[in-house]
Amino acid sequence: MKKYSIFFIALIVMVSFGFIQTSPVLATSEDEMTILFTHDLHDNYDPFEVERNGEKQIVGGIARLYEAIKQERAKEPDALLVDAGDFSMGTLFQTIFSTDAPMLRLMGMMEYDAVTYGNHEFDFRAEGLANALNTAQASGEKVPPIVASNIIFPTNDDGSMAKDLRQLQTAMEDYGVEPYRVIEKKGVKIGIFGLLGKDAASNAPMSGVTFDDNVEVAKRMVKFLKEKEQVDLIIVASHSGTSPNVKKSEDEQLAKKVPEIDIIISGHTHTTFEEPIIVNDTIIGSAGEYGENLGVIKLVKNREERWDLKDYRLVHIDDQFPENEQMRKKINQFKETVQRDYLDLFGLKFDAVVAHTPFDFSDFSKLQEIHAESTIGNLLGDAYIHTVKEIEGDAYEDITAAVIPVGVIRNSFYKGDITVSDVFNVSSLGIGKDRISGYPVVDVYLSGKELKTIAEVDASITPILPAVQLYVAGLNYTFNPNRFIFNKVTDVQIETADGAFKKIQDDQLYRVVAGLYTGQMLPVIGEQSFGLLSIIPKDEDGKPIEDFEDRIIYMDDDQELKEWYAIAEYLGSFEKKDGIPQVPTVYAELENRKNIDNRKNLVEILKKPNGIMLSLYAIIAEVVIGSILLVRFVVKRKRKRSS
């Protein structure tokens, strides 16, 4: 007995001094849980090229992603697979979103356990999403469960609901969309619900629906799942996103305010986390965009019945994974449908070469990080003006400017051949009045003062909202980022096609072209500037536009000029070499359309005040004068009392 006592004493000493490592958790496989996740797939079915660390790589592809998922499931058969929204919209495959619901059917094939909506699922409006849900359900194929916890269907004062909203509500009921779902794996009850955040909701202006506060909904859902469903693990598929500014980082704020959440799969901002963000006990994962990575989170239960992070990694989807043959076959079938039902309308082929560029355009991944002119922005603006001029022929009325917000640019062009598919991917958003994929080009009229305001919007609001940054073909302006907000622009002129400059007349109306979405958002600028910057698009008679669909430019009697098609036409107009149009070298460099004057001396900061600053100066002067008079009055009264 004495011998054993000495042994146990020695063992205790060794443990105490760290000679033997112990773990507070002796986990079994039943105490571990694996979550696989994606988000922001944006209909990227085929592999695509990216530049990483100075090298170009071919990454992504749904058929490869499927193989990666299968390999992870081979290691952990009970792994969950979750998507945090924006699974659609971004490539030519979106053109059959309503009629064929391709991604929903492919996600069913990959056996997702839960997906949620992103703002882009509403790009084809309530009716388009309803049709997609109905199509997916009617296909007879397996489809993924959808969780949407904070969607609201507004009603009229009499309790009635708009026809398209009623259609969507019915389609969701028939599909089986639920606020949450509970899944049991290895004896663990897992509650999953889906949220769409504030910023994402603001990017779905034509959805027709509204979205309840994501934090308040999360609090209610967590309480319900804990108390009523008695779940052991709570996962949120959140299309809200993160930000370097923690106060604006919606998913970090969600984790902070609803600490009972175990996992947040964070979509919307296309962020790539090599390591997760951990807020208290909540783990936030984000795997980037377009299916370039498959996220893997492995958890282990601790003594407090919460979950600790055991492993977090991103599986890079590249040629280490073969394409799943069954998936590849299905994608090719959808590709044939896109050609027949959409591209044939424009007389173009999916992979046909439109032009060749001997250089890279601006890096798409950095567009919103850099407040400056960009080569891709210049090309798009020039394309709109050129193609409208070609279409209108002898009836052409001079276009002064084309406005391109950075947020509508979805990709860029890189050295090599540019295909029809590549062109569409650059400008893929939305639908027109014809309910056919792709925003159409519209024309509006703005006063000269409003043209100047567009430059000021770019200069002043972009630092607050990077997605608002504007590229404006036809204007040449200079701004100083060190000047007061709403008074950063020091010079703005009209730049004609031959490089000449013209002074802007404040009261004159000028014709401007843009995409339908851009035209609709121009009046909203006033809201972002507290009413100080106002842009009211008008018709040629100076009357405010009530319905922007009335301003759509048509190629013939009924075919809309789509943004992407205008770009394709412009690329096709370039001088040919061996039968292929060559992008001119003028687009290899910036053209000094947007100039930044970074001087910080007081003269540069205060000179050339605009109307807003003059008003502010007047207010300051009134306050100063009033203060002086008040002081003099008080001093005078004191002297009087003393005497």
Taking residues 598-622, report their average pLDDT. 70
Which domain does 624 fall in, by range?
610-642
Q: What is the pTM of this model?
A: 0.87
> CA 141, CA 514: separation in Å to the nearest integer?
40
Same domain, 465 and 364: yes
Return the closest-CA partner of residue 270 out of 200, 217, 205, 198.
Answer: 200
Candidate from 234-238, 261-265, 539-543, 617-621 with smallest mean pLDDT = 617-621
186 and 267 part of one domain: yes
Position 620 scores a pLDDT of: 60
> How does residue 18 score in pLDDT terms, banded at 50, 70 and 90?
very low
What's residue 624's pLDDT?
Answer: 66
Nearest partner of 233 among 520, 33, 460, judged by Cα: 33
Least confident of 3-7, 376-380, 409-413, 501-505: 3-7
Q: How far apart are CA 523 and CA 531, in angstroms?
A: 10
Nearest to 96 by CA among 106, 85, 110, 83: 106
Whole-angstrom distance between the N-terminal and C-terminal Cα of the chain? 104
Q: Is residue 197 part of a domain?
A: yes
- The larger pLDDT score, comparing residue 302 to residue 197, is at 197
- Bridge partners, residue 402, by sequence: 473, 513
Q: What is the pLDDT of residues 432-490, one digit of tens each?
A: 999 999 999 999 999 999 999 999 999 999 998 888 899 999 999 999 999 999 999 99
The pLDDT of residue 14 is: 44
- Residues 374-384: pLDDT tens digits? 999 999 999 99
The whole-number pLDDT of residue 2 equals 45
Can you tell me the distance from the alpha carbon of 505 to that of 32, in angstroms, rounded to the nearest whole number? 69
Based on the fold, state whether residues 405 and 469 are members of the same structural domain: yes
Number of H helices, E strands in the chain: 18, 27
Q: 369 and 294, same structural domain?
A: no
Backbone phi, psi, residue 256, to 5°? -70, -40
Q: Does residue 334 belong to any structural domain of this protein? A: no
Among 309, 325, 341, the domain boundary falls at: 325
pLDDT in tens, 258-315: 999 999 999 999 999 999 999 999 999 999 999 999 999 999 998 887 899 999 999 9
**Vertex 495 angle, CA 494 and 498, to 5°:** 145
The verdict on residue 460 lying in a domain is yes
Mean pLDDT of 506-526: 91
What does residue 506 show for φ and ψ, rounded to 5 degrees?
A: -55, -40
* 365 shares a domain with 299: no
Amino acid identity at 533: L
Report the distance separating Cα 16 and Cα 237, nearest Å.
43
Query: What pLDDT score does 622 carry?
Result: 62
- The pLDDT confidence band at residue 640, using thresholds 50, 70 and 90, is confident
Whether pLDDT at 16 is above 50:
no
Average pLDDT over residues 398-402: 98
Q: What is the pLDDT of residues 127-178, one digit of tens each?
A: 999 999 999 999 999 999 999 999 999 999 898 999 999 999 999 999 999 9
The tens digit of pLDDT for each residue in 75-113 reads: 999 999 999 999 999 999 999 999 999 999 999 999 999
310 lies in the same domain as 371: no
pLDDT at 518 over 70: yes
**Is residue 333 included in any domain, yes or no?**
no
Residues 380, 304 share a domain: no
Q: Provide the sign of the torsion angle of the four alpha carbons 47, 53, 54, 55, taken in this order.
A: negative
Residue 605 lies in a domain: no
Residues 79 and 45 in one domain: yes
Residue 617 has pLDDT above 90, yes or no: no
Whether the predicted pLDDT of 24 surpasses 70: no
CB 143 within 8 Å of CB 100: no
Q: Are residues 561 and 621 in the same domain?
A: no
Compute the average pLDDT of residues 117-133: 97
So what's the pLDDT on residue 20?
Answer: 43
Q: Determine what percent of the chain is predicted with pLDDT higher than 70.
A: 91
The neighbour count for residue 611, using CB atoms within 10 Å, is 11
Q: How many CB atoms lie within 10 A of CB 297?
A: 26
Identify the CATH number of the domain in which residue 214 sits.
Answer: 3.60.21.10
Q: What is the pLDDT of residues 201-218, one digit of tens each?
A: 998 988 999 999 999 999
* Residue 384 belongs to domain with CATH number: 3.90.780.10
Euclidean distance between CA atoms 169 and 153, whole angstroms? 8
pLDDT at 534 over 60: yes
325, 344, 371: which is the final residue of a domain? 325
Indicate if the pLDDT at residue 616 is higher than 70.
Answer: no
Helix axis angle, 563-572 to 375-392, nearest 10°: 90
Q: pLDDT band for 28, please (50, 70, 90 cuts).
A: low
Q: CA 222, 225, 228: angle at the middle one, nearest 5?
A: 130
Give the orientation angle of helix 214-227 with respect to helix 250-257, to 10 degrees: 40
Amino acid at 214: N
What percentage of the chain reaches a pLDDT higher than 90?
80
Chain mean pLDDT for the chain: 91
Task: Encode burial over 311-342: b for 16+ CB neighbours within 10 A, e otherwise.
Answer: ebebbbbbeebebbeebbebbeebbebbbeeb
Cα 499 from chain centre: 34
The number of folded domains in the chain is 3
Predicted confidence at residue 614, as pLDDT, reads 57
Q: What is the DSSP string of 196-208?
A: E-HHHHHT-TTS-
Same domain, 294 and 411: no
- 601 occurs within a structural domain: no
CA distance 462 to 468: 5
* Residues 547 and 416 grouped into a single domain: yes
Q: 572-598 burial, b for 16+ CB within 10 Å, e for fewer?
A: eebeeeeeebebeeebeeeeebbeeee
Q: Are residues 115 and 223 in the same domain?
A: yes
Contact 232, 189 (CB under 8 A): yes
**Within a domain: residue 353?**
no
pLDDT at 27 (0 to 100):
47
Average pLDDT for 426-435: 94
Within-domain flag for 339: no
- The residues, ordered by sequence, that sit 6+ positions from 499 with a Cβ below 8 Å of its Cβ are none
What pLDDT does 10 receive? 43
Helix, strand and coil in the chain, % to nearest 5: 40, 25, 40
Task: Report how far residue 146's alpha carbon sits from residue 161's, in angstroms, rounded to the nearest whole number.
Answer: 23
Structure tokens at 449: 């003062």
Q: What is the pLDDT of residues 204-257, one digit of tens each?
A: 988 999 999 999 999 999 999 999 999 999 999 999 999 999 999 999 999 999
